[in-house]
Amino acid sequence: MVKVTKFEKENSSSLVRRFSQTVKESGILREVRKKRYYREPKSERQKKASALWRKKIGGLRYRLLKLGEVEKGKKIDRERIRKEFQKKN
């Protein structure tokens, strides 16, 4: 944590300038920006589940394209996916 104390007769703008300079020198900002978008890697179980889901959706898309119910390149509505998988169960 970076701390900056105000000197006597120091105005607020120079205090802010000094603070930002110490933050740059400490490297905290660089470290935080590096970790900003970090996503924890998926576990083996999650990888297998997502691969299975992609395969199911791919099969559904293929079937709906053959029937002419979905256009090529368009997303399948979530409600439609839910209905299709409920039919099978």
Distance CA 21, CA 2 (A): 11
Using CB atoms within 10 Å of the CB of residue 66, give its burial: 0 to 12 exposed, 13 to 18 middle, 19+ buried: exposed
Q: What is the pLDDT of residues 39-71, one digit of tens each?
A: 999 999 999 999 999 999 888 889 888 988 888
Distance CA 52, CA 63 (A): 17
Share of the chain above pLDDT 90, in %: 39
Mean pLDDT of 23-44: 91
Residue with tokens 């905290």: 28
Distance CA 60, CA 88 (A): 12
User: What's the confidence (pLDDT) of residue 87?
Assistant: 76
- Domain limits of the chain? 44-88
User: Is the CB of residue 57 less than 8 Å from the CB of residue 81?
Assistant: yes
Q: What is the pLDDT of residues 13-22, one digit of tens each?
A: 999 999 999 9
